[in-house]
Chain A
Amino acid sequence: MKRPAPGNSVIIALVLAGVMGAFAAFAADQAVDANGQLEDPGLQTRFEGITQQLRCLVCQNESIADSNADLAVDLRRQVREMLVAGKSNEAIFDFMTARYGEFVRFNPPLEPKTLALWGAPFFMLLMGGVIIYRVARQRARMPLDDDPAPGQTGNQ
């Protein structure tokens, strides 16, 4: 059998890449709102970042970027309009927090109020470390199983 010429495999690769690209574009197309993408790619990137950081309050465990709830659609429109109006990311997060509360942010800022939230994992890690340290120290003081117990002569 004749091996395909190098030229052929390039064409096959190109066709494959084209098909895969089309699928990728199709998939990306579905992830976009009915209103389509923002024309400015910089704004679109910021839009995606912000909407992934905002909680959809109807479903509560989805971001407004992922949710199809009516409210999420409205909030995406709000974010898009504020971006086009030249608002900063912080201004958009402040707008949402003022109306929906801190819970709307998946990544709440570190403040005195959120100290327990951010600190709890480190506190638990510390407590776990203390417990492990104490248990390990206690075990180190215990005799090993195959050590003869004190007073025994080991005549077996």
Chain B
Amino acid sequence: MWKFLLPFAAFVGLVVLFAFGLNPSRDIHALPSPLIGKQAPAFALTDVLDPSHAVSNAALKDQVYVLNVWATWCVPCREEHEALLAISRQHVVPIIGLNWKDQRERAKQWLEQLGNPYQAVAFDGDGRTAIEWGVYGAPETYLVDRQGRVVYKFISPMTLQVWDREFLPRIAAARRGGA
């Protein structure tokens, strides 16, 4: 009996392991963020478009918002830009940009040419704020609730499908939770 059951159990175990491990839709480089459920790191940076203007997430207290990490050197950021513009037109939540290790002039040009989906864009030229947020690639998109906690992190170019499936339900929940 064991002679049959044991290899069979091992086989089933391997099938389950491979079904998870070799799933082609799983991004093997995406890492879980330890920030989920924790207080979002505070930042106070200058605005990309106007260096005399400050952008800080303290100003977004009691608001659900999205933080999108992007840069002009980041090819997938160009890919997600249309989706971000479409999302910003829905006026669901403010989208704050974090311009990561970029050049101000290039970032300005990008926003002027392609359109600006952001309520404000913070300029993180030396990447220090990105380290605080655990950014390790671009684009990355964070959702922060009314209590200032990181609720969700999405690593990859944003699409409208991802927005509808992953973000909208969480935004609705964050609004209910913080009422």
Contacts and interface: CB of A to CB of B under 8 A. Distances in A.
Given A57-B136, A58-B136, A60-B29, A101 B127 contact: no
A106 interface: no
Interface residues of B, number: 17
Nearest to B133: A99
B62 interface: no
B131 A78 contact: yes
B35 A99 contact: yes
Given A99-B34, A101-B32, A101-B34, A71 B127 contact: yes
B5 interface: no
Q: Which range holds the interface residue count of chain A?
A: 10 to 19
Contact of A100 (B29, B127, B128, B134): B134
Given A70-B101, A70-B127, A74-B131, A97 B34 contact: yes
B31 interface: yes
Main secondary structure of the interface of A (DSSP, over half): helix
B136 A100 contact: yes
Determine the main DSSP class of B at the interface with A: loop
A32 to B, nearest CB: 20
Given A58-B137, A100-B31, A101-B34, 15 more contacts: A57-B31, A70-B101, A71-B127, A71-B136, A74-B101, A74-B126, A74-B130, A98-B34, A99-B35, A99-B132, A99-B133, A100-B134, A100-B136, A102-B34, A103-B31
Interface of A: 57-58, 60, 70-71, 74-75, 78, 97-103
